[in-house]
């Protein structure tokens, strides 16, 4: 399969971004009317808004037990932590892997490993810098508890950042999602926390660059079917 030069540079945009691009384009027209140099600044901003809401196709590894990153970004934290109480995952620490997304990353979120959503829970909160440890407890967040086929559970939490003001999750409790399937989006800078099942060790390091739906995060050591 060949890849065209156009598809290399121009990525599809998630529908959530259309109204923001339209607003930026309208402002750009006004700026051109007021003063041309301002208009070119607006044009650059419009292109950036389109780029922010890009939603490229990803190729998820087809290997048993492989968990993938739910977000583009950089690993910012690797530590034991008690998952949010609203997810019902217990009060014992689980290994938490945090992926920090800057405003330049793709912000469409994907499920790390196939399973059924047993809980989808939103909690309002603050808008601290998402790279801070306390953002996991204090910031606006939306969490998913996911049960895999062997009964184990893990958690994924969308956390709003310093400039993020809207967490979107279009997946519902009881829904079954495949590995790498899109489940939500966060606008303008944020973070994803992944709470790994007991005994599962992360295969990443702090500072590592992640690609949602593609970069291997951990291995669940499940047997291949058939």
Residues designated catalytic: 190
Question: How many Cα atoms within 13 Å fall on the side-chain side of residue 82?
Answer: 8
Q: Distance of alpha carbon 104 from its chain centroid, rounded? A: 13
Rounded Cα distance, 80 and 131, in Å: 16
Contacts of 75 (CB under 8 A, 6+ apart): 97, 98, 99, 100, 204, 205, 206, 207, 208, 210
Give the 3-state secondary structure of residue 193: strand
Q: Tell me the residue length of the chain.
A: 226
Bridge partners, residue 185, by sequence: 108, 168
- Identify which of 111, 100, 166 has the alpha carbon closest to the alpha carbon of residue 144: 111
Q: How far apart are CA 103 and CA 54, in angstroms?
A: 12
Element (H, E) at 101: strand 94-101
Owner of token pair 């971004």: 17
* Distance (Å, whole) CA 144 – CA 119: 6
What SS3 state is found at 85?
A: helix
Looking up tokens 């049960």, which residue turns up?
Answer: 147
């Amino acid at each position: 399969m060949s890849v065209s030069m156009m598809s290399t540079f121009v990525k599809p945009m998630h529908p959530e971004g259309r109204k923001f691009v339209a607003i930026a384009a309208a402002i750009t027209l006004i700026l051109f009317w007021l003063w041309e140099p301002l208009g070119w600044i607006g044009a650059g901003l419009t292109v950036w808004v389109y780029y922010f809401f890009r939603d490229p196709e990803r190729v998820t590894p087809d290997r048993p037990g492989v968990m993938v990153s739910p977000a583009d970004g950089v690993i910012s934290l690797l530590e034991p932590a008690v998952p949010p109480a609203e997810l019902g995952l217990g009060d014992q620490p689980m290994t938490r892997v945090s992926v920090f997304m800057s405003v330049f990353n793709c912000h469409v979120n994907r499920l790390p490993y196939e399973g059924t959503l047993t809980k989808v829970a939103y909690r309002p909160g603050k808008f601290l810098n998402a790279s801070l440890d306390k953002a996991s407890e204090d910031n606006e967040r939306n969490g998913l508890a996911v049960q895999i086929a062997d009964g184990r559970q893990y958690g994924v939490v969308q956390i709003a950042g310093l400039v993020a003001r809207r967490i979107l999750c279009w997946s519902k409790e009881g829904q079954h999602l495949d590995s790498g399937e899109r489940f939500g989006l966060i606008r303008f800078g944020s973070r994803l926390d992944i709470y790994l099942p007991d005994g599962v060790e992360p295969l990443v390091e702090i500072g590592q660059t992640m690609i949602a739906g593609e970069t291997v995060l951990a291995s669940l050591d499940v047997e291949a079917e058939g």
